[in-house]
């Protein structure tokens, strides 16, 4: 399956975000800080949601999964980018390129499915509160989480196999900071219309269908919230759902801008900026959005902070 390209391309050259030394230094510092924020923010959410008894609910179980995915997808991308920003020779081996492409794409598709699952969780919780604990119980959550990971890693196989079978004719310069399906396809020297068509169909399955499901779920949720007589109840429901919708809009919007269009209409520089947004900026913003707009998480963080201060003083 891989022999055609392996015999012609042994490594790729990543051109990155900039070739200017001064700009590269600035980008290195910026992305290093962002990566630290991603790690600290998401690890903190995982720690708090798994240790605080008040947050042992399906919503926070799925939020923990989201934080873990964000840590993984940023770790697949950012350390390599930081290394290349400081390196003179920005090469990546064929095997490493394939691994990065497959893992980052799989994690991204897991996240696509997970956002739809989180919307379904909020839909049941708000529209059918009396049935919530029956429909979304612990066992169901675990099964859904496993299904999300399995589907994400299986669906991405289609993208990767099709991409690796494209004839590159020895071209190995990637005008990007990572190995991504659209960028590898842009190196192809043969007709890729059928490949693009198949990838578009997979994109519909993994992007358009979940977005449609999320929108329909939130239409029902909003209609149900408007029936709530308590103003405090409305504010709490809108706050919880608002956080989710902010993240969904940013993530799906940027992902569709890269994957749901033809290579002939693609702007590489713009694609790089969009990729930075959904692979790096969104994982950084997720913890901030979910904590700053959520009273329960903020309360749990305060308790967690006080507990650690107390432990430090007792020592």
The domain that contains 287 carries what CATH number?
Answer: 1.20.1070.10
Q: CB of 161 within 8 A of CB of 81?
A: no
Please give the Cα distance from 49 to 57 (Å, whole number): 9
**Residue 1 above 60 pLDDT?**
no
Tens of pLDDT along 280-293?
988 998 888 877 66
Please give the average per-residue pLDDT across 206-213, as a whole number: 90
d(CA 181, CA 113): 19
> What is the structure's pLDDT at 3?
45
Question: Which pLDDT does position 312 carry in this prediction?
Answer: 54
> Which is more confidently placed, 313 or 185?
185
pLDDT for residue 308 is more than 70: no
Q: Average pLDDT, stretch 142-155?
A: 93
pLDDT at residue 7 tops 50:
no
Residue 194 pLDDT class (50, 70, 90 cuts)? confident
Element (H, E) at 248: helix 231-259
Predicted local distance difference test score (pLDDT) of residue 236: 67
Nearest to 109 by CA among 153, 141, 164, 77: 153
Q: How many CA atoms lie within 13 A of 266 on its CB side?
A: 26
The structural domain count of the chain equals 1
Lowest-pLDDT choice from 68-82, 115-129, 183-197: 183-197
Q: How many CA within 13 A on the CB side of residue 216?
A: 9
Q: What is the pLDDT of residues 92-107, one digit of tens each?
A: 999 999 999 999 999 9
**CA distance linking residue 131 with residue 122, whole number of Å:** 12
What per-residue confidence (pLDDT) applies to 146?
A: 95
Say what the alpha-carbon torsion angle 166, 170, 172, 175 is, to the nearest 10 degrees: -70
**Residues spanned by the domain of 240:** 3-314
pTM (two decimals) = 0.87
Please give the mean pLDDT across all residues of the chain. 84
pLDDT mean over 115-139: 89
CA 279 to chain centre: 6
pLDDT for 71 equals 95
Tell me the per-residue pLDDT of 54-102, one tens digit each, with 9 for 90 and over: 788 898 999 999 999 999 999 999 999 999 998 888 899 999 999 999 9
Q: At what angle do helices 94-127 and 58-85 cross, to 10 degrees?
A: 150
**Per the structure block, which two tokens stand in for 95?**
């095997």
Stretch 200-204: mean pLDDT, rounded? 84
More confident residue, 53 or 310: 53
Average pLDDT over residues 105-116: 92
């Amino acid at each position: 399956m891989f022999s055609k390209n392996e015999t012609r391309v042994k490594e790729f050259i990543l051109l990155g975000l900039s070739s200017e030394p001064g700009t590269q230094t600035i980008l290195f510092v910026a992305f290093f800080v962002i990566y630290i924020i991603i790690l600290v923010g998401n690890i903190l959410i995982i720690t708090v949601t798994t240790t605080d008894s008040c947050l042992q609910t399906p919503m926070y179980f799925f939020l923990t999964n989201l934080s873990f995915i964000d840590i993984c997808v940023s770790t697949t991308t950012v350390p390599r980018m930081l290394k290349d920003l400081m390196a003179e020779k920005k090469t990546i081996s064929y095997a490493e390129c394939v691994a990065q492409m497959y893992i980052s794409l799989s994690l991204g598709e897991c996240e696509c499915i997970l956002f739809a699952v989180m919307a379904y969780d909020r839909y049941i919780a708000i529209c059918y509160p009396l049935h919530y604990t029956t429909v979304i119980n612990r066992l169901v959550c675990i099964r859904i989480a496993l299904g999300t990971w399995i589907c994400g890693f299986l669906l991405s196989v289609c993208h990767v196999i099709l991409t690796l079978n494209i004839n590159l004719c020895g071209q190995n310069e990637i005008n990007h900071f990572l190995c991504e399906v659209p960028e590898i396809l842009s190196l192809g020297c043969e007709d890729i219309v059928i490949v693009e068509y198949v990838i578009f169909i997979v994109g519909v399955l993994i992007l358009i269908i979940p977005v449609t499901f999320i929108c329909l779920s939130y239409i029902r949720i909003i209609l149900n919230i408007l029936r709530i007589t308590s103003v405090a109840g409305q504010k709490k429901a809108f706050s919880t759902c608002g956080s989710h919708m902010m993240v969904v809009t940013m993530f799906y919007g940027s992902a569709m801008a890269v994957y749901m269009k033809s290579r002939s209409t693609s702007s590489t520089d713009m694609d790089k900026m969009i990729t930075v947004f959904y692979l790096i900026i969104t994982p950084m913003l997720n913890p901030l959005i979910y904590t700053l707009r959520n009273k329960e998480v903020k309360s749990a963080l305060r308790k967690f902070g006080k507990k650690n201060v107390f432990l430090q003083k007792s020592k």
